[in-house]
Amino acid sequence: MHWRGWGDPERATPLPEPVVELLRQALGVQPATPPVEISEVRLPERSLPVPAYQALLEVVGADNVQSDPEARIRHTRGKSTADLLRIRAGDAVDAPDAVVLPGSHAEVVEVLELSSRHRVAVVPFGGGTSVVGGLSPNAQSYEGVVAMDLRRLDRLLDLDAESRVATLEPGLLAPRAEALLRERGFTLGHFPQSYEWASIGGFAATRSSGQASAGYGRFDEMVVQLRVATPTGTLELGRAPMSAAGPDLRQLVLGSEGAFGVITLVGVQVRPRPVASGYEGWRFATFDAGTAAMRSLAQDGPMPAVLRLSDAAETAIGLADLGQIGGGEPQSGCLLVVGYEGSAASVAGQRDGVATVLPDAGGEPLGDQPGERWAAGRYAAPYLRDALLDVGAFAETLETATFWSNLPRLYAAVCEALTSSLAEQGTPPLVLCHVSHVYPTGASLYFTVVCAQADDPVMQWRQSKSATGDAIIAAGGTISHHHGVGTDHRDWLAGEIGPLGVELLRAIKDRLDPAGILNPGVLIA
C-alpha cells in the first residue's frame, strides 16, 4: 500500500489537463502543494517504556517488532481523505511507537496482556484501509502505542466443503483468500471497493459490505464463527449456524472495530465459484424511478448479484471514467448497473427475469457495455481521489442507509447538508450519489464530494462532515452502512443507539478491556 495514497503506486494515473482545467473553471480548484517525501515526515519521539518493548521482543521475537521510521509511518492512520492530507503534509504526530507482528492467537493474547499491564494502547491493523478514523485512537494518556499488524496470521485453516464454511485467519488479504478458495472451487463473493487491500479480519470488524452484496449478502451475514483475543481472555463464538442460546455474541464482535478484542479466526460461509457472469446497464429517467425499480427486484425478485444505481449527477460525470471528461456528451437520466453471477443457466435466467421487470418500471436497456465498463473499473475510484488531491481538488465519500419509504428524504437532506456546508466555506461542491446495497426493507446511499481545497482542508471536511452527521441523524438514517464508526462517526453514535446503548457498549469494553488499551476512542469515547 502506498504510504501517502491508495494501493499500488505504479497504478497511480495523473488527471488529463482538460480535466484539471475543468476543475479550475467549475469549482475554483487551485494548484496543490506537492506532497512531502517519506524522509520529510515528522514523527514523534518514541514513548514506549523499555520494559514493555523488551517484553514484546520476548513474545513475538526481535524480527517481529519494528520501530523504524518507515514502519511507523506506514501504520499511521488509515486512508480517509483527511488521513491522506495530513500524511501528504508530513504530519505523523500520532504514529505508533512500534509495530508488532504476532504469529499466533497465543501471541496475540500475550501481547494484549502485557500491553494492559504496561498501559500501552494497541491498534489492531489489517489492511489499513479504514476511512473513518478506525486507526486513529485517542492514546495521549497511555504510556505508548503499538500497531498490531496481523499479516502473519494469513492462512486458510480449513474448508468444510459439506457445510460450505471456510475458516480463515484475520490477516489474510481478500485477493489471497479468494485465490485459495477458488483453487477449491469456492468463493466468498465479497468484493468491496477496498477489496485489493483489505483483510478478512477487517471485513468482520467493520461489518463490510461488498459490491455484490445483493447476491452474496454482507460480510457480517456470512460469518458463522469467531475467535477473539481480549486482555482478559478468549471468546470462542459460533457452535452452530444459528442458535437460541441467548443473545448471539458474534454480533457483539462484528462491527466492534478492535475496541473489544482482536479477531484471530473467522469462520465464514462460502459459495461455489461462479462459472458465468455478466453485467449490463439500464437507464431510468429519474433517481426515484430507478430506486423504485431496485425496490421491486429486492422485494419480489429476481435478485441479481449486483445492483448499483447512480443519480443524475454521477451518471453525467461518469465517476469511474472521470479521466475521460470532455471526450463525449454527458449521459442523461440515471444509470443502473445490473450484474449476474452463477451457473450459465442461472445467469441466463436472472437476465431474462430482470428484463421482464425493469421495462415495466421505466427502464431502458443499454446493453452490456455500461455494466462491463463499471466492472472493469470497480476498484479505480480511490486512485482517482489521489489524482484529484494532486491537483488541488478535495474528494471524499460518505455513506448511510435507511428504509425505502425514507430514502428520498435522506437523500435530499444529505445533498443539502454537503452543498450548503461547503458553499458557506467558499468551496461549492459537486455532490454525486449512488445506491449499491439493497434489501427488501431499504437501501444504502453512497455520496462522493468534489470541491476545491480550502486553506485548511482537514478542518473544511470536518465542518462539512459534522453538518452532514447531524442531517443524517435528523433525517432518520444510520451514520454508517458499511464504513464503520471509528472516531469520525463516534460522536453521532448516541444519536443512533441512544445514551443507554452507548453505556451498554462501555460496560462491555470495561469488562473485556479494563485498562482501555484496545483502540481507545474508536467506536466509543
Kindly list the structural domains of the chain, giving each domain's residue range(s) and its CATH number in brackets, ordered by start. 9-149 (3.30.43.10), 156-272 (3.30.465.10), 276-376 (3.30.70.3450), 386-483 (3.30.300.330)
Q: Within 10 A of 327 (CB to CB), how many other CB atoms are there?
A: 11
Backbone angles phi, psi at 307, to 5 degrees: -135, 120
Strand ranges in 71-222 using DSSP code E only, listed in sequence order:
98-100, 120-125, 144-149, 156-160, 165-168, 186-187
How far apart, in whole angstroms, are the C-alpha atoms of residue 334 and residue 357? 17
Helix (H, G, I), strand (E, B) or coil at 349: helix
Place of cell 458474534: 250
**Blockwise average pLDDT, block size 10, the chain, 525 residues:** 94 93 96 96 96 98 98 98 98 98 98 98 98 96 97 98 98 98 98 97 98 96 98 97 96 97 98 97 97 98 97 82 42 91 96 97 95 93 95 97 98 98 98 97 98 97 98 98 97 97 98 98 95
Q: Calculate the alpha carbon distances from 353 to 229, 340, 348, 365 in Å.
A: 46, 11, 9, 13
Report, in angstroms and rounded to the nearest whole number, the Rg of the chain calculated over CA atoms.
Answer: 23
Helix (H, G, I), strand (E, B) or coil at 402: strand
What does the pLDDT read at residue 319? 53
Record the pTM: 0.95
What does the pLDDT read at residue 317? 87
